[in-house]
Amino acid sequence: MINVTELRPGNHFLDEGVLYSVLDILLNKTAMRKMVAKVKVKNLRTGAILEISRNSGYVVEPVRLDKKKMTYLYDSGDMLVFMDQNTYEQIELPKANMEWERNFLVSNAEIEILAYEDEILGLSLPAKVALQIVECEPAVRGDTVNKAMKDAILETGLKLRVPLFVESGETILVRTDNGQYDGRA
């Protein structure tokens, strides 16, 4: 068991039977009061993001998640199919639980699957992925009051803003945390 004030972003813990991942933590100490930890967490089973507040001295159970490298194969309708390259074991995960992650999945992409005691929780995406632009509007000269950007659609269907010099057919890097353009691949 560890004190809630010792949690850091990236830690995973079990609190009242619910499995959480720490996204951010803010420790607040005033003169006459105990330290309060405001922890922004993600429920690993439902995907809900919420903020919980606990006084110092409150303890939670740290957990260790198993990560397994797998290859994304295809979309089978309501499930996404992944395969372990070593054992050729295939698993299916519900598509409904991975709305955001689907924006970055292309065939044969290597992904880490997160599991806790044989329960598959979801995917761990890399910080950036390389995706190809399938549709991009032409650049408009003179539209440079601010950072000059235009709309583009990627091979996964994700729509985002890219700089004017990027054209259709190019491969770009996209950040998986916010879905924004990061550079050319």
| Whether residue 44 is found in the same domain as residue 84 | no
* Boundary-marking domain end, from 14, 38, 62: 62
Distance CA 131, CA 173 (A): 6
| Whether residue 134 is found in the same domain as residue 179 | yes
Which amino acid is it at 93? Answer: L
Q: What pLDDT does residue 101 have?
A: 86
| Whether residue 143 is found in the same domain as residue 113 | no
Q: Specify whether the CB–CB gap between 145 and 152 falls below 8 A.
A: no
Residue 17 belongs to domain with CATH number: 2.30.30.30
* Boundary-marking domain end, from 41, 62, 83: 62
* Structural domain of 114: 66-124
Residues 6+ apart with CB under 8 A from 31: none
| Whether residue 110 is found in the same domain as residue 158 | no
| Whether residue 56 is found in the same domain as residue 92 | no
Q: Does residue 145 register a pLDDT over 70? A: no
Q: What pLDDT does residue 2 have?
A: 92
Counted domains in the chain: 3
Coil/strand/helix, residue 121 = strand
Residue 158 belongs to domain with CATH number: 2.40.50.140
Q: Is the pTM of this model over 0.75?
A: no
Q: What pLDDT does residue 94 have?
A: 85
Q: What pLDDT does residue 143 have?
A: 58
Q: Does residue 150 register a pLDDT over 80? A: yes
DSSP state of 57: T
What digits encode the pLDDT tens for the residues 83-114?
Answer: 998 899 998 888 887 888 888 888 888 889 88
| Whether residue 95 is found in the same domain as residue 146 | no
Torsion of CA 125, 1, 51, 122, to 10 degrees: 20
| Whether residue 8 is found in the same domain as residue 28 | yes
Smallest Cα–Cα separation from 50: which of 22, 71, 86?
A: 22
Distance CA 119, CA 73 (A): 21
Token couple for 57: 């001295």
What digits encode the pLDDT tens for the residues 20-55?
Answer: 999 999 999 888 888 999 999 988 888 788 999 999
* Boundary-marking domain end, from 10, 35, 62: 62
Asked whether the CA dihedral 146, 172, 156, 44 is positive or negative, the reply is negative
